[in-house]
Chain A
Amino acid sequence: MAAMAFADIALPRELSPGERALRRLLRRRGAMVGLAVVVFFVALAIFASWIAPYDPLATSWSAVRKAPTAAHWFGTDEIGRDVLSRVIWGTRASLLAGLVSVGISLAIGVPVGLLAGYVGGWVDMLISRITDAMLACPFLVLAIALAAFLGPSLTNAMIAIGIAATPAFVRLARAQVLAVKVEDYIEAARAVGNSDWRIALRHVFPNIVAPVIVQATLAIAAAVIAEASLSFLGLGQQPPAPSWGSMLNTAKNYVENAPWMAVWPGVSIFLLVLSFNLLGDGLRDALDPRHT
């Protein structure tokens, strides 16, 4: 009787943890600004061919290193190409560098980390030693060696950065699995007879999503910078295709007599990376159950 009475009362629907996290995220202004900027750049990358005023590869001997004018809003570069168009098209390379390399890290790192944490034993030991070894190597040195081995190209730079960043995800995934593994509800699920797979998917996996997303966002930011660094050493995007990193690398020779060549790719890298960082920080705050 009493139970039925209770059921009649309309209670406000309780928000799911996901919805609560989203609310928290939306409230953090820094993260929202970051998200907006990222969306803006993604749009720029997708619609580059419609937005860019000129062909980014079109050279002009008479318009070498011209300051910004009405015809060329951001000026021209060292062989007469329009800087604005190159910055717009370069968004693709830089975004790809960030997204693809982190994609690789996720695709390899998370499953491997899950495996190590879940299975344990000598598999865990082997994976952990290899991961530690990779982490002990300075990230950039690893990336340089990999990129030099694969050959200079944007794709190879992405692969190199992705592989060099993988150990961080392995560690993260493994740590999360280890933390969750000892929880009571896992024991309970197993006692009830759920298969390992089911446990992994339904219980372990959702718990690692949050920190992995945060780490991924921050890793994208680092990857964009890494692409610029590799370009500085001649290992990134190949000319004449534009990427902010290689544009910055070329432009550093003209900082005093053609500063517009450097300003715009530099500002773009800064904005994009800062936005990913803000977004990542916001996500971390939002998804962290300890904060309200």
Chain B
Amino acid sequence: MLKPIAAAIAAAVLATPLAGAQTLRIGLAEDPDVLDPTLARTFVGRIVFASLCDKLVDIDKDLKIVPQLATSWEWSKDQKSLTMKIRQGVTFHDGEKLDAAAVKFNIERHKTMQGSNRRGELAPVTGVDVVDPYTVRLNLAAPFAPLVAQLADRSGMMVSPKAAQAAGEKFSAHPVCAGPFKFVDRIAQGKISLERFSNYWNKGAIHFDKVTYEPVVDPTVRLANLKSGQLDFIERVNPSDMPALKGDAKLKAAKIVEIGYQGITINIGKSEESQKTALGKDPRVREAFELSLDRDAIVQVAMDGEAVAGNQWVAPTNAWYAKSEPIPKRDVNRAKALLREAGVTNPSFTLLTPTTADAQRVAQVVQSMAKDAGFDVKIQLTEFATTLNLADKGQYEAFVLAWSGRADPDGNVYSHLVSKQPLNYAGYANAEFDKTITESRETNDATQRAKLFEQAAKLEHRDRPIVYLYHRQWLWAHTSRLQGFRPIPDGMVRLQDLKLN
């Protein structure tokens, strides 16, 4: 009589640890690029880094900075140096210790390695001092408020100095970091496999033995994989697929507004092309164009409501949004009046559009709306590489632009709108704007920064080098067996506290 009960108990007891051999299978929308935090350049690569490479600090859902590899930090009185305390007892995947010297190595690697994409982000950092084995000090030429937020991204990711020195340029073939999972294998354009790092400093929060990332480019196929059980988690679900997920008991959706933006960049000064269209020449025409748009309708029609209308480089829900510059309502009559005032009839321009499905929808909706005010918008699909090239040379009139966003608003505006910056495709050159934004990065006083951003927003709205349209919702879907997913506005998938039942 007792035997079967004992057997059942024994089975239950034995089954529990055996059930721990768990793999989480994640589907990505694109193939990540090089898995080296210094050289990496894509959004989707960061998703893999979230499991592979821990950073000095991280952000939470309110965009507040929280500790990760650094436990605390403080600015000096003159705001020109940042002292950070490094967490003790952290080791890299190869067993090397993470200490202040390792941090110094990494910051210098980010700044000096050939082909590094982090140089611009860490430009204000002039040097790193090792104060003691677990304290570093980053010295700056001038105060730089966005610095800590930069360290919550790839610039703050730490790789093992020993492995980096040994591998040199080939480090990305087998990256060695300090994250919860270590690199196992990667098939180019195929699956990336990681396995649990048993010495992870926060190992209690990790409940998987393996993680795989697989790029599935087509969103319909990606969702099909989730539905058929090949994948446990997918990112960037089609907005139109979201309602159906509600009715499916086996799946769950999650969303959060992104820190990036979607908008239309207009060539107002990048090259002489800017003077060829009325749109590029006359701010009144640009105002008329903006007034012909109904952002709420764009969000509803093109994004199935899965976005938040916006008119600044941060979303209206963001703490840094300038409330004194609200989203203008559609006003076709005023738009027409402005065009008359500017002496322009039937203004026309070519709108370069990426080949992605949502960009095409947005472009067509914009085209249709602007037509009511008299604009003749020609849509031209251009693939990615060509768009970048044309934008870089200023050989365009307007293009639909997306920016994945950075935790600090500076990352959404400095490079894009300050004169001569690499991402300033519009060719915006407003000295007052430059001064305002530069000042905003040189003070750590939040109130002061907010005021400066407000001033900058006012200037931007007068000149309209970019017409911001909306901010997408990051849309994820996963099996309902997955518990503990925390949506964070940077779009990353963090595996801490994630469990599969």
Contacts and interface: CB of A to CB of B under 8 A. Distances in A.
Q: Are any A and B Cβ atoms less than 8 Å apart in their complex?
A: yes
A39 to B, nearest CB: 32
A181 interface: no
A254 interface: yes
Contacts of A65: 240
Given A79-B302, A234-B355, A256-B244, A239 B381 contact: yes
A252 interface: yes
Nearest to B227: A256
Contacts of B355: 152, 233-234
A79 B240 contact: no
A211 to B, nearest CB: 38
Interface stretch (B256-264, B363-371, B418-426): B363-371
Contacts of A258: 240
Contacts of B365: 59, 79
A123 interface: no
Interface residues on A, range: 20 to 34
Nearest to A65: B240
A253 B300 contact: no
Nearest to B385: A148
A234 B359 CA distance: 12
A80 B301 contact: yes
Contact of A238 (B220, B238, B368, B381): B381
B357 interface: yes
Interface in A215-238: 233-235, 238
A255 interface: yes
B360 A239 contact: yes
B360 A250 contact: yes
A82 interface: no
Contacts of A281: none
A253 B220 contact: yes
A79 B364 contact: yes
Contacts of B94: none
A257 B244 contact: yes
A64 interface: yes
A98 to B, nearest CB: 21
A152 B240 contact: no
Contacts of B364: 59, 79, 239-240
A238 to B, nearest CB: 6
A250 B357 contact: yes
Interface in A14-71: 59, 61, 64-65
Contact of A78 (B218, B244, B361, B382): B361
A277 B382 CA distance: 33
Interface string A255-271: 11110000000000000
B74 interface: no
Interface string B329-372: 00000000000000000000000010101001101110110000
Nearest to B239: A253
Contacts of B238: 253
Contacts of B301: 61, 64, 78-80
B383 A253 contact: no
A236 to B, nearest CB: 9
A250 B220 CA distance: 11
A93 to B, nearest CB: 14
Given A64-B301, A152-B381, A257 B357 contact: no
B243 interface: yes
B219 interface: yes
A238 B219 contact: no
Nearest to A233: B355
B243 A257 contact: yes
B363 A239 contact: yes
Contacts of B327: none
B379 interface: yes
Interface in A72-126: 78-80
Contacts of B367: 240
B368 A257 contact: no
A145 to B, nearest CB: 12
A255 B241 CA distance: 10
B380 interface: yes
B450 interface: no
B71 to A, nearest CB: 45
B297 interface: yes
B382 A257 contact: no
Contacts of A254: 240
A249 to B, nearest CB: 8
Contacts of B368: 59, 79, 240
Given A80-B301, A256-B244, A239 B379 contact: yes
A261 to B, nearest CB: 11
Contacts of A240: 364, 367-368, 379
Contacts of B219: 253
A58 to B, nearest CB: 9
A152 B383 contact: yes
Contacts of A80: 301
Interface string B235-268: 0001011011000000000000000000000000
A148 B244 contact: no
A78 to B, nearest CB: 6
Given A61-B301, A64-B301, A250-B360, A238 B240 contact: no
B240 A257 contact: yes
B445 to A, nearest CB: 44
Nearest to B221: A252
A158 to B, nearest CB: 16
A284 to B, nearest CB: 37
5 contacts: A59-B365, A59-B368, A61-B300, A152-B383, A238-B380
Which 8 pairs of residues, A with B, have the shortest CB-CB distance? A234-B355, A59-B368, A152-B381, A240-B364, A239-B379, A61-B301, A234-B381, A239-B364
Given A239-B353, A240-B379, A252-B218, 18 more contacts: A61-B300, A65-B240, A78-B240, A78-B301, A79-B302, A79-B361, A79-B365, A80-B301, A148-B386, A152-B355, A152-B381, A152-B382, A235-B383, A239-B363, A239-B379, A240-B368, A250-B357, A254-B240
